[in-house]
Structure 1
Amino acid sequence: MGRRFWRLFSSLCLALPLTVLPAPAKALVPFVYLPQEKELEGAGLGIAQAAARLLRLGQAEDAARLAELTVRLLPDDPRGWVLLAEAELRSNQMEKAVVALARAKQLDPNNAGIWFAEGSLALRNGKPQDAIGLLRKGIELDGKNAGAYFDLGNAQILLGNTDAALGSFEKAAGLRKDFWEAINNQGLVLFESGRTADAIGRWQRVLKIKPDIAETSLALAAALFERGPAERAQALKLAETALAEEPNYVKDSFQKEQLWGPRLRAVTAQLLALPELKAAVERAQANATAGDGNGGSSDDS
């Protein structure tokens, strides 16, 4: 950084006329301030903290821009590269995230967070088998990361390893209090395994933690609907609430993206076909984002 300023100063000097004049007795000596290494480090870490705050607030693109500045100031600090990779992952800049993670791993191969981030990236890129290997390597280094076990469970669901997935989600929920996503996904696995009562218990627990989760509300509605007429009124109410909160759940394709299995999607299709839900379903279809899939249709493929 100092040399760049010096080159700029030199070029300005060269642009001046070559006439040599006597220097005044009190001439000022040109001075370019060169920040000390500790100052650069402090500035870089301050910017990293600001980037992390933006990331927590969901402002991934702004966080990525600040993280890029961090790694310019601190190119040999793996923490900045991990932060940059995370911000790029969340802002769907996958190719850039790969580069950042590779640099971070080069600097600190024993950093569990790097392996977890690579596993998450592989999962998002549709490579669940690769994700499992990366996540397990990270877990060997840090066995108390709830998010890693959650990602591991999702990868295992995609590969049809339901028992292993259930164990991973249970581990995640045990490590992080009120980890509703992990509890919700336990319900997904249990329902597909025919353990409807256990699935209902998990989803009821989620809604006590966070009452406005559309996915859980609709899944619970489907499970209650399957149990019989006695639960029908509650199922209808939950379904209406869920579709109003997140219209995309009217689409089978969206349910599938959220790792809903064929059994849950089929029961949900039957629920959404009820005359009492016609108006709610039509509103959801009108408000859902464009994409494939018809509301309430079942696709076991």
Structure 2
Amino acid sequence: MSSRWLRALARVALGLTLSQTLPAQALVPYTYVPNPTELQGAGLGIAQAAARLLRLGQAEDAARLAALTVQLLPADPRGWMLLAEAQLRSNQRQEAAVSLARAKDLDPNNAGIWFAEGSLALRDSRPEQAIGLLEQGLRLDSRNASAYFDLGNAHILLNQPSQALKAFERASGLRKDFWEAINNQALVLYEQGNVEEAISRWRRVLRIKPDAAEPNLALAASLFRRGGEARSEALERAGKALDLEPNYVLDSYQKEQLWGPKLRTTTQQLFEQQELKAQVDRAMANASPEDGLDL
């Protein structure tokens, strides 16, 4: 923020204070009123500071600054989008919905706003509404990989595996290293009974992200189901996955991550193996179910 703007704010504050305390007949001191260009510059400067805080993970502080931005620049949809993002990251979902609605009123052809509303609907367990919002956004921007990923998750929640698989494949086609989308393809394929193809895709994920807990454990369960020589690899990968993320020991956490009943059942059978008792017990002691992530 420029020193000129700070001096202007000080003059405004001084003028307001004196005007409130002087008698009615006294001369009201001169009050400096910033011009529109200065207001815009100040608003953009504050927005930049809010964005920096957001990148640093200080979402609540970013939201407070972004709220000041939209007061200074109420007709700029970028400020409302920034405010909504900060509110989402600080778990202010209702406030974020209001900010997104305001942004959409100002810029209805901005695909990012539709995607953000769709993601919010998905987090609030409104998958049908999420699909409508995401599809509208994709009509405006058909090359957004994250939107296709959210769309796939919404279809999973509505038990529409074919549509989910198609969306996940579109996401990974747009972003080759989008391992989460490939992982979720495997989740769908496993539930459809195509275990070997699911195994192939989880191995593909692990070539991109070798230390990701979810594909390690899912692959372990799939290999355990295959049996035979694959059993030793299954046990090794399962122990590694539980050390990386103890919450995966919980059926409820697996379900939050959109694991279907077949995979959860196989995983539970894997956890019952004597060779994994120490890792399972340690994971149960360290698991924090309240730390479950949003979709």
Alignment TM-score > 0.5, same fold: yes
Report what 1:69 is aligned to: 68
Write the distance in 1 (CA, Å) between the matches of 2:174 and 2:134.
16
Please provide the CA RMSD for this pair. 2.6
Q: Deviations over 1:47-95 (max 9, x none)?
A: 3233334334433223222222221221111111112112211221111
What code does the residue aligned with 1:284 have? A
Aligned counterparts, 1:166-205, within 5 A? 166-205=165-204
Please say if residues 247 and 289 of structure 2, whose CA atoms lie closer than 8 Å, have aligned partners that are also in contact: no
Report what 1:257 is aligned to: 256
Write the distance in 2 (CA, Å) between the matches of 1:40 and 1:219.
54
What code does the residue aligned with 1:251 have? L
Write the distance in 2 (CA, Å) between the matches of 1:110 and 1:99.
18
Q: Deviations over 1:84-108 (max 9, x none)?
A: 1122112211111111111111111
Unaligned 5+ residue runs, structure 1? Answer: 21-29, 292-301
What code does the residue aligned with 1:170 have? E
Cα deviation for residue 163 of structure 1 reads: 0.8
Distance 1:173 1:289, change over 3 A: same
Q: Secondary structure at the match of 1:229?
A: coil
Cα deviation for residue 205 of structure 1 reads: 1.6
Report what 1:212 is aligned to: 211
1:9 paired to 2:15: yes
Q: Deviations over 1:218-247 (max 9, x none)?
A: 111111111112111111111111111111
Report what 1:122 is aligned to: 121
Cα deviation for residue 158 of structure 1 reads: 0.6
Cα deviation for residue 35 of structure 1 reads: 3.1
Report what 1:95 is aligned to: 94
What code does the residue aligned with 2:15 have? F
TM-score by length of 1: 0.86
Distance 1:49 1:19, change over 3 A: closer
What code does the residue aligned with 1:67 have? A
Write the distance in 2 (CA, Å) between the matches of 1:207 and 1:54.
32
Write the distance in 1 (CA, Å) between the matches of 2:79 and 2:21.
39
Worse overlay, 109-118 or 249-258: 109-118
Unaligned 5+ residue runs, structure 2? Answer: 291-295
What code does the residue aligned with 1:202 have? R
1:106 paired to 2:105: yes
Report what 2:293 is aligned to: none
Distance 1:82 1:10, change over 3 A: closer
Write the distance in 2 (CA, Å) between the matches of 1:110 and 1:88.
22
Write the distance in 2 (CA, Å) between the matches of 1:209 and 1:39.
48
Write the distance in 2 (CA, Å) between the matches of 1:76 and 1:156.
35
Paired residue total? 283
Distance 1:6 1:149, change over 3 A: same
Report what 2:246 is aligned to: 247
Worse overlay, 66-75 or 180-189: 66-75
Larger Rg belongs to: 1
